[in-house]
Amino acid sequence: MTHPAPHRQAKSRGVSVRHQPRSVPRGLVELLRKLAKVKAQARALGIFTDDRELLECPNCGLLEDVTAEGLLVTYPKDSVDLKDCGLRFCPVDDTRFACPKCGTSVKAVIL
Ligand SMILES: [Zn+2]
């Protein structure tokens, strides 16, 4: 009776450290998903999310600004009290916004 020789264990020295496939850590994906959600909520609340330059109408001078609270406001360029006039530039397409006062199309700089 001949038993097959037991496999010799490979030398444990020099164990190869396998490279992990490079992938986005799951925590980060989760975080980005949350961030997108928070941004959407912030937008709904009128908070400026900082993903484009503030707009200024070249025709009537209406401009956007962000308050210390992070809220998006608009007022005429020559406004003294810088009070929010309640108007909001309305997105026309990905990069253009229509002035709510005179309708001029303003190109936004997407950041
Ligand atoms: Zn205008």
Distances in Å between the alpha carbon of 38 and those of 32, 92, 111? 10, 23, 18
Instruction: Using a pLDDT cut of 90, give the percent of the chain over it.
Output: 59
Distances in Å between the alpha carbon of 54 and those of 33, 48, 61, 106, 109? 25, 9, 13, 11, 8
Residues in a beta bridge with 97: 91, 106
Nearest in space to 56 (alpha carbons), one of 108, 3, 110, 2: 108
Q: Which residues surround ligand 1, an ion (CB under 5 A)?
A: 57, 59-60, 62, 99, 101-102, 104
- CA 87 to mean position of chain CA atoms: 23
The predicted model gives 39-48 an average pLDDT of 89
pLDDT of residue 15: 57
Alpha carbon distance 84, 69 (integer Å): 13
Q: Quick check: pTM over 0.75?
A: no
80-94 pLDDT, tens digit each:
999 999 999 999 998
Instruction: Using a pLDDT cut of 70, give the percent of the chain over it.
Output: 81
Cα 103 to middle of ligand 1, angstroms: 6
Alpha carbon distance 100, 90 (integer Å): 7
Cα 111 to middle of ligand 1, angstroms: 22
pLDDT greater than 90 at residue 79? yes
Cα 76 to middle of ligand 1, angstroms: 9
pLDDT greater than 60 at residue 10? no
57-76 pLDDT, tens digit each:
999 999 999 999 899 999 99
